[in-house]
Structure 1
Amino acid sequence: MSKFDIEELIGELTLQEKIALIAAKDFWHTSPVERLGIPSVRVSDGPNGVRGTKFFNSVPSAAFPNGTGLASTFDTELLEEAGQLMAVEAAHKNASVILGPTTNIARGPLGGRGFESFSEDPYLSGMCTAALVNGMQSRGIAATVKHYVCNDLEDQRFSSNSIVTERALREIYLEPFRLAVKYANPVCIMSSYNKVNGTHCSQSKKLLDDILREEWGWDGMITSDWFGTYSSADAIKNGLDIEFPGPTKWRKSELISHLISSKEGISEEDVNTRVRNVLKMIKFAVDNKDKTGIIENGPESDANNTPETAAKLRKIAADSIVLLKNENNVLPLSKDESIVVIGPNAKTKFMSGGGSASLNPYYVVPIYDGIKSKLGKDPEYSIGCTSNKTLNGLWEACVIDPSKGNQADNIGAQAIFYTKPVEDRSPDEKPIDSTTIKQSYLTLFDYKNPAVEESNPLFYVDFEGYYTPEEDGDYEIGLQVYGTALLFIDGELVVDNKTKQTKGTFCFSAGTIEEKAIVSMKAGKSYKFRVEYGSGPTSQTASDFGAGGMQVGIAKKIDENEEIAHAAQLAKEHDKVVLCIGLNGEWESEGYDRENMTLPKKTNDLVRAVLRANPNTVVVNQSGTPVEMPWISECNALLQCWYGGNELGNAVADIAFADVVPSAKLSLSWPFKNEDNPAYLNFATESGRVLYGEDVFVGYRFYEKLQRQVAFPFGYGLSYTTFTFENLEVTADESKEILSVQLDVTNSGSKYAGAEVVQVYVAPTKSGITRPVKELKGFKKVYLEPNETKKVSLELPLKDSISYFEEYHNKWCAEAGEYQLLAGSSSDDTQLISSFELSKTFYWKGL
């Protein structure tokens, strides 16, 4: 065959080959048909970086800021560049498909994967999605917009039934996907785990076929989420093109052949339809092979770890950081000031939330190191208090051979793999594998070895490393596992997570709680740590999660009250304080939701003590979604830095020292407390269902309708300079269906150049139904020198900007009447108002 002709290929494929094509070969690859030249295509997570094909011992990758951080840039041009860089990363992993971006709506602050998503607002979510998709696909890498649809919590996510009105489904939850299709045409879309109104999304004819394909005219490939297929005939008939991962559970050749021959729900033509869409994705990969240089089943590389990559990641991260408060000009910092760095998030490397968004980063710059680099010296430091959910970091602090010191190739633990447990091994038992482990959080469920059965991945690992404490004291040791594990120090059993296990949230909620012990240690003495691990099938928590995982940690036990007092004393002794607090990838992770909005442990006590000791404190909060800040009225300077990826610390320092002037805006409303948020009463899954009781009033739509005050409104963010808006002009051209907006924006400051985000909201003055006060329908970032004025122009689709979904007609309704257009710097600061009219009501469907 001279070219990749889809219809010709379908004609030549056997039924067995067709069935093979609509199920993945393994965790990350589609099935090839070698005799017809159909290659195997590699896919890779995901949302904030391209991991490659391994969780265990993966090749290092670029870590981007998380989704809510990316959206806070309010900069589609920058996000398109980010998408292009993600595509370069994918090519280095020889992956033709990126499993991202995540486009779900942040209904409330507690969603475990809320950090992965972009926003509470469907327009911002959709435009950010489209920008990243356009960037990826311009470089020949297919994007996968996920998770379609209403996958907005983790609680019982495989069975949870999202009960949502048709209007809310259309206006809030489907809308970002519609905008992504309209403005970017993604090659792939991933169905979600959950049900919507009683039907699993991966087999919903309404969602997959009627809306996505027929109404929107999209013709790409729909993939299941991993293990998110629940039927054979229904999923094939109703629109799910490919089941991931492989080997298949639901699309075995003999089963599908039997269903076809017995006319039990599907025909070969149904299979042909699914094959056609899979081949479209493969054709995209084949057609772009010269552009991407991807080699089928090729090796994975970290060669994109370059100064150019670092510079781009640093800019994206800095442009995502939101300046929330800056009273008394605490910021920017000066290198001439004495500065102390305090807090549990200062020296840690929290570059991402947890779950499938996590990856093995090239490196991570902690906030402390970023500040240190600016100052050219080590600032004083105190941890203040701990904020960890569980203990981590043991192997990172160990060496393999104490006689060789802390050289790079000696850091970590030696891991020796066997097919038998310690007690059953003969003295001359030969291992099946060995490697050096440098990470204490190990995901082993994709470990493969010829000596291990794929259907029953039973094996055993002995981990050994030497830990030398820097201080005398009591040290806390922690161990959590999916599988079983025993931890020994100098041959003595210290932690037993084998003989009795308690189910917890570890390893996507498949594993145990953390078992802990306290051990007294002497400074300078080397202690031999040994962990005897049994893989997933040895677990008592009875979950099918492959070869499992393990996390081991260590920390010197501190008196937190004494440490807080010490931190406050240090704060008094310096001109300025950088106080680093927040969450991490264990508090915010795939597999479970947060229980509350509270900062961990004694964080609030630490913040209050430091603020009272020194009002010139910059609080730097790190989280993917809102946290309660009961001390906010006492705080003069506050930065929201999200999970900033590789360049986290440098980006925070760039903002703090005004090498970058802050320009980001909140992609989420920030309530004072969890009870204020619209999904508070209806967030968790109860009796198998979650009621979307807030309807269309999500985020700022809710707070404005009820006139409920928030700590910080949607779209809010300060700068080191000031901006003014003037001369708003609005024209509605009904014949062209265009809403034209123009206004002047001035940098009214005299010292700093900076960027402002013009936000455009539309509000009906009168309507036949209850509608939000106003809704975001356009935005544009503009860069201005001091005292410079620029005219900003936006052209918006008229029908998209004014319509609501009319359930009775099952169509969008553009209602005749007067509308207000509001322009400003946040949802709560719309300085300019104009109006326009629509002369005649009309209904519409589609894009």
Structure 2
Amino acid sequence: MPDRDPIALAADLTLEEQVRLLSGQDDWSVAPVERLGIGSLRVTDGPNGARGGGGLTGGVKATAFPVGIAIGASWNIELVEEIGAALADEARDKSCHVLLAPTINLQRGPLNGRNFECYSEDPYLTARLAVGYIRGLQDNGIAATPKHFVGNESEIQRTTMSSEIDERALRELYLVPFEAAVKEAGTWAIMSSYNRLNGTYTSEHPWLLNEVLRDQWGYDGVVMSDWFGSHTTAATINAGLDLEMPGPTRDRGDKLVAAVEAGEVAPETIATRAANMLRLMQRTGAIDDQGSRDERAVERDSTRALVRRAGAEATVLLKNNGILPLSGTPHIAVVGPNAPLARAMGGGSAQLNAHRLVSPAEGLRAALGDNRVSVAAGCDNHRFEPVLSGRFRVEWFANTDLAGAPVHVETVTDTEAFLVQGIGGGKVDPGECSFRLTGTYTPDRAGLHRAGIHCAGRARLFIDDQLVADAWDGWTRGSTFFEEGNDPVVGEVDLSEGAHEVRLEYRTAPAFNLHVRAYQLGIGRPRDDADFAEAVEAARGADVAVVCVGRNAEWDTEGWDLPSMTLPGRQDDLVAAVAAVAKTTIVVLQTGGPVEMPWHDDVAAILQAWYPGQEAGHALADVLTGAVEPSGRLPQTFPRRLADAPTQGKGAEAYPGKNGRVVYAEGLGIGYRADGPAPLYPFGHGLGYTDIDITAVEAADDRVSVTVENRGARAGAQVVQLYVAPEAAPVPRPEAELKGFAKVRLEPGARAEVSFELPDRAFAWFDVAAQEWVASPGRYRLYAALSAADRRFSATIERTEEVRMAP
């Protein structure tokens, strides 16, 4: 069957069987066609690991890889291919055929909650890395699903918002990575975005899915909806959406059969969509896969080593006053809220249950010894109160009133979950049920505690039979759980030493757009002035203070945008206080994008470590000690302050959006392409532990040669970047655009020549009226650079003829 023509095979199916292939049967799979021995296609999230079919916070353990922006910071296509290949193994461990990744939307601004999932603000860098990732996956038999097609650069009201983007910006920026995924990598699947594009949902956008994707780019794969991102029957099928997810179906099935019978959808269209699905199933082997759906937690030493290496390579050394790498065996105070905790990943559908989570403190202790490292958090940076762990009894009711006898009783180990199919022992409907969770909480010391709940549904929290937090009768929709849940309701309670009884009551309620039901309960003692002082004193008494600050998966997450570019809580104060007393202060930032740094000039070194995967602490220790070169480079511009970002200052319509529309008013001027104040750190910036620099650049025709030399005392790596700048363009264009890069590794004293061959498209702009790419004649300056702000080395070429190209 794998060699059989999918069009002919689709013709052998009845209409009902064809339709069955066009929607999920459950959250993660498509039903088989048993009559013809056609197996079931299974999919899994996500970009930084194959989670399998479990919930977002539990399920079978899997490897947590570095997040998208960390991969972007590597500027290393070969490394990304390795990651793709390793992820193919991980997907097979979960008995899946399709990985819902990579995320290749652009970083339009600094506040997008899903910024961490995306590679870069630049379409060329994003495209090159996406091609490597997709090839790594698909060369090993697992389908990639680049997402979200297209215009999902913000999480605010993303399921209904219309992204208003002019066609030139679409063609020159936002569509570029998807075009490369299709034309170069040959991706087998693509996921449409939730949002509307210029007024029409992307899942039913005929210009986007049929004219551009299929007719112009020649795509022959599957277009699937994001989960609950399909809204209609005939419109989606006719526009080019092959697969509605998840199941059971809402808009297809009998409705789609009826639409065909009513003449709203042609039978040939159904057959084409079914053939696309069968082609995907052939490519992945799902068509003949009659095996089990067992999921395995397989931890490979080679994959652990890859994650550690990739996490270190993604680290960007923003500033270094000669203190790094650390020498000898200094006594280090590792302070800050991220010091004792591993910040390995962002939140939302990208998160998973990692095999292990190595914190900075653990990594440095492993590298230097326990007696050389002291740890003090100093302050908090969480958005929600800490989830409880232990043993909790859950009584499930097949109604929304906690009425009668429970239909199922079980024990859980934490107080956070999504209600998915199979909950309550399979004896309750996830959309219409209730439960009572009971257990105990024992504080580490007596005092004031904060207890918080948020839920997609309704919940109330009792401690020692006292109502502490109520999200039941007064529940209001907010920004949690993909904008389906309320903002946290937090109560304060004075707790003595010893165990305290905890009771959470929950009931489901009507959902909105994504049909999510979920809850989270947390209790914690807020860190106070004494904790702050402890961290400062630890820093004062050490040879080096490593201040680990940033955010976590509660802040950098799908479903909401960040409220500001400042570090949450008292973190800025902590950095300033440590810098005032420590002999040497090194700041380690873990965020999914840029932050303001009011303490910047007062510290000796700054490392941007992102969310580098499950080996986070080991990767950080490797960089700090010099075992590994920090060869990451910024994939996103770091403005000095939020007001300097190109999405700011253009009115609410430009960001965060107004009246259901977000207008991309900056046009082509995102990131380094924007006119504006000089950033704190430019796109492409990053330092190393040696001195590798460009020494010469030459250009002949469309070929550029760049000479690079290592004048330092140790081996290292440098990212050579090539920017194309038209000197007199016939239309407004950015001053310069990245059109080539190469990562070069050199021994001390070594020299290398890096060659770039620029195709016509590297010089082109999109002529909307003519519907063509145009490489205009004229003079072009070619900058060989170490960042987007580097203008030291350049060559000039003259193009004498106009070249026009089809889209």
Same fold (TM over 0.5): yes
1:53-84 per-residue CA deviation (whole Å, 9 max, x = no partner) reads 12164111111111111100000000000001
Alignment correspondent of 1:601: 569
- Tell me the TM-score normalised to structure 1 length: 0.91
Alignment-mate amino acid for residue 825 of structure 1: L
Alignment correspondent of 2:297: 302
Q: In structure 1, what is the Cα distance between the partners aligned to 2:430 and 2:369?
A: 55
Question: Partner of 2:116: helix, strand, or coil?
Answer: coil
Q: In structure 2, what is the Cα distance between the partners aligned to 1:666 and 1:638?
A: 13
Q: In structure 2, what is the Cα distance between the partners aligned to 1:175 and 1:784?
A: 32
The Cα of 1:423 is off from its aligned counterpart by 6.0
Residue pair 1:445, 1:546 contacting (<8 A) in 2 also: no
Q: In structure 2, what is the Cα distance between the partners aligned to 1:103 and 1:51?
A: 19
Q: In structure 1, what is the Cα distance between the partners aligned to 2:633 and 2:657?
A: 31
Aligned residues: 801
Residues 368 and 450 (structure 1), Cα distance of their counterparts in 2 relative to 1, 3 Å cut: closer
* Worse-matched range after superposition: 378-387 or 666-675: 378-387
Q: In structure 2, what is the Cα distance between the partners aligned to 1:198 and 1:421?
A: 38
- Tell me the TM-score normalised to structure 2 length: 0.95
1:449-479 per-residue CA deviation (whole Å, 9 max, x = no partner) reads 5754547441424242x43333232222222
Equivalent residue for 1:632, pick from 574, 582, 600? 600
Structure 1: 5+ residue stretches without partners: 401-412, 733-738
Question: Partner of 1:310: helix, strand, or coil?
Answer: helix
Residues 364 and 617 (structure 1), Cα distance of their counterparts in 2 relative to 1, 3 Å cut: same
Alignment correspondent of 1:697: 669
Structure 2: 5+ residue stretches without partners: none
Alignment correspondent of 1:340: 333
Alignment correspondent of 2:278: 279
Q: In structure 1, what is the Cα distance between the partners aligned to 2:21 and 2:33?
A: 8
* 1:220 and 2:221 correspond: yes
The Cα of 1:288 is off from its aligned counterpart by 9.6
Alignment-mate amino acid for residue 762 of structure 1: V
Residues 766 and 375 (structure 1), Cα distance of their counterparts in 2 relative to 1, 3 Å cut: same
Question: Partner of 1:356: helix, strand, or coil?
Answer: helix
Alignment-mate amino acid for residue 164 of structure 2: I
Q: In structure 1, what is the Cα distance between the partners aligned to 2:671 and 2:32?
A: 45
Equivalent residue for 1:812, pick from 773, 789, 796? 773
1:794-824 per-residue CA deviation (whole Å, 9 max, x = no partner) reads 334x112100111221110011112111112
Alignment-mate amino acid for residue 272 of structure 1: A
Alignment correspondent of 1:247: 248
Alignment-mate amino acid for residue 793 of structure 1: S
Q: In structure 2, what is the Cα distance between the partners aligned to 1:192 and 1:530?
A: 39
Alignment-mate amino acid for residue 803 of structure 2: F
Alignment-mate amino acid for residue 298 of structure 1: R
CA RMSD of aligned residues (A): 2.1
Alignment-mate amino acid for residue 184 of structure 1: A
Alignment correspondent of 1:527: 500
Residue pair 2:397, 2:403 contacting (<8 A) in 1 also: no
* 1:442 and 2:417 correspond: yes
Q: In structure 1, what is the Cα distance between the partners aligned to 2:96 and 2:686?
A: 37
Alignment correspondent of 2:798: 837
Q: In structure 2, what is the Cα distance between the partners aligned to 1:463 and 1:4?
A: 56
Residues 257 and 526 (structure 1), Cα distance of their counterparts in 2 relative to 1, 3 Å cut: closer
Residues 173-572 of structure 1: matches in 2 within 5 Å?
Answer: 173-253=174-254, 255-264=255-264, 266-286=265-285, 296-303=291-298, 305-327=299-321, 329-377=322-370, 379-395=373-389, 398=390, 400=391, 413-419=392-398, 424-425=403-404, 429=405, 431-437=407-413, 439-448=414-423, 452=427, 454=429, 456-464=431-439, 466-523=440-497, 525-534=498-507, 536-537=508-509, 543=512, 546=515, 548-560=517-529, 562-572=530-540
Q: In structure 2, what is the Cα distance between the partners aligned to 1:725 and 1:555?
A: 52
Residues 446 and 715 (structure 1), Cα distance of their counterparts in 2 relative to 1, 3 Å cut: farther
Alignment correspondent of 1:407: none
Question: Partner of 2:19: helix, strand, or coil?
Answer: helix
Alignment-mate amino acid for residue 146 of structure 2: V
The Cα of 1:422 is off from its aligned counterpart by 8.5
Q: In structure 2, what is the Cα distance between the partners aligned to 1:807 and 1:698?
A: 20
* Worse-matched range after superposition: 174-183 or 79-88: 174-183
Q: In structure 2, what is the Cα distance between the partners aligned to 1:12 and 1:714?
A: 54
Alignment-mate amino acid for residue 834 of structure 1: A
* 1:582 and 2:550 correspond: yes
Equivalent residue for 1:773, pick from 729, 735, 742? 735
Question: Partner of 1:627: helix, strand, or coil?
Answer: coil
Residues 336 and 200 (structure 1), Cα distance of their counterparts in 2 relative to 1, 3 Å cut: same
Residues 447 and 493 (structure 1), Cα distance of their counterparts in 2 relative to 1, 3 Å cut: farther
Residues 715 and 615 (structure 1), Cα distance of their counterparts in 2 relative to 1, 3 Å cut: farther
The Cα of 1:344 is off from its aligned counterpart by 0.9
Residue pair 1:822, 1:833 contacting (<8 A) in 2 also: yes
Residues 530 and 12 (structure 1), Cα distance of their counterparts in 2 relative to 1, 3 Å cut: same
Question: Partner of 2:574: helix, strand, or coil?
Answer: helix
Residue pair 1:149, 1:173 contacting (<8 A) in 2 also: yes
The Cα of 1:833 is off from its aligned counterpart by 0.8
Q: In structure 2, what is the Cα distance between the partners aligned to 1:33 and 1:696?
A: 47
Q: In structure 2, what is the Cα distance between the partners aligned to 1:762 and 1:420?
A: 64
Percent identical across equivalent pairs?
37
Residues 726 and 367 (structure 1), Cα distance of their counterparts in 2 relative to 1, 3 Å cut: same
Residue pair 1:565, 1:609 contacting (<8 A) in 2 also: no
Q: In structure 2, what is the Cα distance between the partners aligned to 1:421 and 1:279?
A: 41
Question: Partner of 2:461: helix, strand, or coil?
Answer: strand
Q: In structure 2, what is the Cα distance between the partners aligned to 1:724 and 1:779?
A: 14
Q: In structure 2, what is the Cα distance between the partners aligned to 1:446 and 1:150?
A: 31
Residues 700-715 of structure 1: matches in 2 within 5 Å?
Answer: 700-702=672-674, 705-706=675-676, 708-715=677-684
The Cα of 1:287 is off from its aligned counterpart by 7.6
Question: Partner of 1:496: helix, strand, or coil?
Answer: strand
Question: Partner of 2:278: helix, strand, or coil?
Answer: helix
The Cα of 1:741 is off from its aligned counterpart by 2.5
The Cα of 1:740 is off from its aligned counterpart by 2.5
1:383-412 per-residue CA deviation (whole Å, 9 max, x = no partner) reads 2211111102322xx3x4xxxxxxxxxxxx
Alignment-mate amino acid for residue 300 of structure 1: E
1:135-179 per-residue CA deviation (whole Å, 9 max, x = no partner) reads 000110000010011111111112211111111010010011112
The Cα of 1:430 is off from its aligned counterpart by 5.6
Alignment-mate amino acid for residue 348 of structure 2: G
Alignment correspondent of 1:404: none
Residue pair 2:542, 2:583 contacting (<8 A) in 1 also: no
